[in-house]
């Protein structure tokens, strides 16, 4: 993933496409109905739909419906021949204004875009590559709209493995969507931002050793779908709102075992994290994944009173730790519980950075994860490094944290 064979487009025509197909009036249909007009030129699409159905049904989060999950999963699968793959055909259509061709895609576009809009928007650095030298098209400070729906990755190693690449894009995004929960099989580290997202070229560097360009882009404006009110998510969870409001005068908000999903995290941020007197939030044994962590991180950035965050027994994974890491560093959290959250040595990299940079963290719980020897070594080294630069009082706190880690890392 992460390959780009097309140039960016200076003009933003995605909004024009939505108008052309009368997007607002298109009904939401089942995935079978949405792909029906595509079968004539995508003959394998029905076979791939059957392939992904079981995984769509087994999904533990109700963030999206079955049909919405299936629309994303079909989009993210790359099959051969490539020019008969949904991903290839979809992006070709988005780059062109052929009215007759657009009509066949109306139902699928509505299902897919309405699904992607509901996923949390994340800040992340992602990469894409091209086998073509595109440096001449990207002058410094140039404003560019990306008008297709392109897969990206946050793994620079994956990009470097392709020695044929002539251009690598490093893209600083504010509204990128993380697709890990909606990818088939072993696909991982996939991201996408919606068509019409506006970027600015901030750097263009030529590396003589591997004879390729690194072009850095920064998101300036999100897609029209995201900043238009009529496409906003109207999800409500009244029982959750009432539970939080019933405890609005308490320092602790207890939301353990409430069957909460990623979609509920906006409510938690709005009614709990935004309350100045809230010092402890308990979210144990729910169904929160990395998507939910990205929402929580936004709330943490604006909360300097929270001292304890308990996320044990969820599914936040390594990417969830990444999404939370910067917000945690700038917060005043003293206690953090990530027990039983499918975190591996990759997540330990982000945890180690938290240990190095946090001014307040004194307790970190990580048992029943999969850190391995490498992960534990990373954490121990991080504590050792901070020990050399902190004051005596801070050293004592870090020493206590080290002793705690020695006990709680054992499954």
186 pLDDT tier (thresholds 50, 70, 90): low
Instruction: Say if domain 238-408 classifies as CATH 3.40.50.720.
Output: no
Instruction: Provide the pLDDT for residue 354.
Output: 92
What element of type H or E holds 221?
A: strand 212-221
Instruction: Provide the pLDDT for residue 407.
Output: 37
Beta-bridge partner residues of 361:
none
Contact between residue 133 and residue 167 where contact means Cβ atoms under 8 Å apart:
yes
What element of type H or E holds 20?
A: helix 14-20
400 pLDDT tier (thresholds 50, 70, 90): very low
- The per-residue pLDDT for range 317-338, each reduced to its tens digit, is 998 998 898 889 888 999 999 9
Q: Where in the chain is the domain with CATH 3.90.176.10?
A: 14-231
What element of type H or E holds 400?
A: helix 392-408
The rounded mean pLDDT for the chain is 83
Sequence-distant (≥ 6) Cβ neighbours of residue 379 within 8 angstroms: 348, 351, 352, 355, 366, 371, 405, 409
- The per-residue pLDDT for range 276-323, each reduced to its tens digit, is 678 899 999 998 988 889 889 888 887 888 999 999 999 899 989 988
Instruction: Provide the pLDDT for residue 394.
Output: 53
Instruction: Provide the pLDDT for residue 286.
Output: 92
- The per-residue pLDDT for range 224-246, each reduced to its tens digit, is 888 764 555 556 788 888 888 88
Q: Where in the chain is the domain with CATH 3.80.10.10?
A: 238-408
If we measure between CA atoms, which residue out of 115, 117, 71, 62 comes closest to residue 231?
A: 117
Instruction: Provide the pLDDT for residue 285.
Output: 94
Q: Which has the minimum average pLDDT: 8-22, 68-82, 216-230, 285-299? A: 8-22
Is pLDDT above 50 for 408?
no
Is pLDDT above 50 for 399?
no
* Bond prior to 81 in cis (omega within 30° of 0): yes
| Fold entry, domain 14-231 | Toxin ADP-ribosyltransferase; Chain A, domain 1 (3.90.176)
């Amino acid at each position: 993933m992460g390959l780009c064979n097309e140039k960016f487009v200076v003009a933003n025509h995605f909004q024009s496409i939505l108008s052309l197909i009368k997007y607002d009036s298109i009904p939401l249909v089942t995935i079978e109905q949405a792909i029906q007009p595509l079968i004539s030129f995508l003959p394998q699409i029905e076979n791939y739909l059957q392939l992904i159905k079981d995984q769509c049904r087994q999904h533990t989060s109700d963030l999206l419906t079955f049909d919405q999950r299936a629309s994303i999963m079909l989009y993210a699968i790359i099959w051969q021949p490539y020019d008969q793959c949904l991903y290839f055909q979809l992006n070709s259509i988005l780059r062109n204004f052929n009215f007759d061709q657009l009509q066949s895609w109306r139902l699928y576009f509505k299902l897919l875009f309405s699904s992607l809009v509901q996923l949390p928007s994340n800040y992340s650095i992602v990469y894409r590559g091209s086998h073509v030298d595109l440096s001449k098209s990207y002058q410094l400070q140039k404003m560019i709209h990306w008008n297709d729906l392109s897969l990206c990755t946050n793994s620079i190693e994956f990009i470097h493995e392709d020695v044929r690449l002539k251009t690598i894009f490093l893209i600083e995004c504010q509204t990128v969507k993380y697709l890990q929960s909606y990818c088939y099989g072993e696909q991982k580290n996939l991201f996408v931002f919606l068509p019409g997202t506006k970027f600015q070229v901030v750097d263009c560097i030529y590396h003589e050793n591997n004879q390729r360009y690194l072009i850095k882009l920064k998101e300036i404006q999100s897609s029209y779908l995201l900043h238009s009110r009529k496409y906003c998510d109207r999800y409500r969870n009244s029982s959750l709102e009432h539970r939080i409001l019933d405890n609005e005068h308490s320092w602790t908000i207890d939301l353990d075992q409430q069957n909460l999903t990623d979609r509920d995290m906006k409510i938690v941020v709005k009614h709990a994290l935004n309350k100045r007197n809230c010092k402890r939030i308990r979210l144990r044994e729910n169904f929160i994944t990395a998507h939910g962590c990205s929402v929580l991180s936004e709330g943490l950035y604006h909360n300097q009173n929270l001292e304890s965050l308990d996320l044990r027994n969820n599914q936040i994974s390594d990417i969830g730790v990444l999404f939370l890491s910067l917000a945690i560093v700038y917060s005043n959290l003293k206690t953090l519980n990530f027990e039983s959250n499918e975190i591996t040595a990759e997540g330990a990299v982000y945890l180690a950075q938290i240990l190095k940079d946090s001014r307040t963290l004194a307790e970190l719980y990580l048992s029943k994860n999969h850190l391995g020897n490498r992960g534990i070594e990373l954490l121990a080294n991080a504590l050792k490094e901070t020990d050399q630069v902190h004051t005596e009082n801070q050293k004592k706190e870090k020493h206590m944290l080290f002793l705690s880690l020695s006990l709680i890392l054992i499954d």
